[in-house]
Structure 1
């Protein structure tokens, strides 16, 4: 059994995320499916190959339909059939935005 190394609790969030590369070469956006989210990061599936260690700009739509602008650094990649599973941490997320994710977790658990 794999040990969970997460620092904070993760929650499923029914949302989509649009990511674009910060390398300046590509401006295409990719829609991904979020599997879980915490105030520190997210887990998601995506058909496009992303690079581990790279930082991507993201727009996360939360349960209130508000959009959180965030930067993600890919820390884990797993091949899942014809798609990829990723783990990413938030880079420089304002405390107000991470607090909104924590509120969602609290409401979702009750």
Structure 2
């Protein structure tokens, strides 16, 4: 598969709760496990079937225990043995929150090179 990511992704042990915002029933929640994250996107696993092209509101708890508010558009779906693997791009994420992710990525990269 051709790599199309614009930014390096890193692994992050965290969870978020997302809800779909482009339907009449926006209160349905799904818990996901983050596989990797970058300034521009996220990879995650979820037992619930989500739809490609759908937009979900997310509250992402990061390594500093801060919660970032973002919207994720699903751009990739892969069926796994125990659920689904998704790729999404951040839309509507404030630049300062994207910078927090980028700073962590830089620190992690420097730590691995030493």
TM-score if structure 2 supplies the norm length?
Answer: 0.91
Q: How do 1:23-62 and structure 2 match up within 5 A? A: 23-62=23-62
The 2-side partners of 1:17 and 1:34 are apart by 8
Partner of 1:97, secondary structure, is helix
Give the corresponding residue for 1:94.
94
Partner of 1:64, secondary structure, is coil
TM-score if structure 1 supplies the norm length?
Answer: 0.95
Structure 2: gaps (5+ residues): none
- Taking only aligned residues, the RMSD between alpha carbons, in angstroms, comes to 0.9
Cα deviations across residues 52-77 of structure 1 (Å, max 9, x unaligned)? 00100000001100000000000000
Partner of 2:9, secondary structure, is coil
Give the corresponding residue for 1:71.
71
Give the corresponding residue for 1:21.
20
Structure 1: gaps (5+ residues): none
- After TM superposition, what 4+ stretches of structure 1 lie above 3 angstroms from structure 2? none
Partner of 1:96, secondary structure, is helix
Aligned length: 109
